[in-house]
Amino acid sequence: MPRFIYRELDPPPAVKARFEQWLERLDQKFTQHRSYEKRSEIVRDALQLLFTPHVPTRSGLDSATDSLLELSFDPRHITLEPEYYGDVDVRRYNERKPLIYFWQMFDRSPLGLNHWLGFRLRAMLGKHIFKHIGENVKIFHNVEFSFGYNLIIEDDCTIHKNVLLDDRGGIILHRGSSVSDYANIYSHTHDIHDQSDVTNKVTEIGPFARITYHATVLAGSRIGEDAMLGAMGIATKDVAAHVVSVGIPAKTVRTKDLGPRFQSFLPSASRITKTPETGPRRNHRLVAEEINA
């Protein structure tokens, strides 16, 4: 069967230059300013330009003249769900909260479905939000995550629209992994008797794994190298490398053929189970130490 590679597309040159200038200016501001207050001001002004470009920006708060929409452009005036979690690191989250809010509001703005711009904006914001984001990462619209600072995304990953990445306990998407629309990846669990009793566990995907449409990976699971979790499947435990796993709970239904094309595509394995010394559970502990460093 033929292979269909993603096409490379660009806006018209003048528009591309305008977009790139805007992204570069935001990146410089977020790099220069790391405080909650200053980043909130930057985001407030940027959102006002996106949603109400013909209204002059105001640096102060005047409840008599500012609309509810204008008040909500400022991240200091709103709360996000992860702020309510008892295990949030307030200092680390506050540094990122304005950028997370900007990410979410951009996706809801008239610019949100501009894929060319969206890929680049989210990659730029990811540098300031995530534990790590690699090269050539494509993130589509309406992707949500929890804290952000416990999320590692390696090179060449693709995350499609409406995906939830619950990084409370830590998520690592290893190189070349793909997460399809409406998938959910969790890294925390609740005690069945006491919902406030939360256990955080690192969850790992890949490298070169595929989490397909509407699938769910539960906390602490490892989806192995080149493995596939089928549509609507729920991974309640580790999925071995090079297999296809489907169902609720997910079970292996076939092993993939490791032909010459795969060997040339993936020249060397990553941190996948090969010997008892490098098994997945030991790997999870190493990754947890890396996330908490």
Q: What is the pTM of this model?
A: 0.86
Superfamily for the 131-293 domain: Hexapeptide repeat proteins (2.160.10.10)
At residue 56 the predicted structure's pLDDT band, cuts being 50, 70 and 90, is: low
Tell me the backbone φ, ψ of residue 284, rounded to 5 degrees: -60, -40
User: Residue 146, Cβ neighbours under 10 Å: how many?
Assistant: 25
Residue 107 makes CB contacts below 8 A (sequence gap 6+) with: 118, 141, 142
Give domain limits for the chain. Answer: 10-129, 131-293
d(CA 289, CA 261): 35
- State yes or no: cis peptide before 276, omega within 30 of 0: no
Dist CA 69 CA 48 (whole Å) = 9
Percent of the chain at pLDDT above 70?
84
- Tens digits of residue pLDDT in 143-174: 999 999 999 999 999 999 999 999 999 999 99
Three-class secondary structure of residue 158 per DSSP: strand
Is a pLDDT exceeding 90 seen at residue 86? yes
Packed helices 115-129 and 90-107: angle between N→C axes, nearest 10 degrees: 180
Q: How much of the chain, in percent, has pLDDT values that exceed 90?
A: 77
Residue 25 vs residues 28, 30, 47: alpha-carbon distances, Å: 5, 9, 14
For residue 45, the SS3 value is helix
The predicted model gives 218-230 an average pLDDT of 97
Angle, CA 212 vertex, CA 286 and CA 276 arms, to 5°:
30
Choose among 228, 226, 200: nearest CA to 212: 228
What does the pLDDT read at residue 53?
Answer: 84
C-alpha span between 178 and 114 (Å, rounded): 20
SS3 state of residue 283: helix
Tell me which residue has tokens 């470009």.
Answer: 53
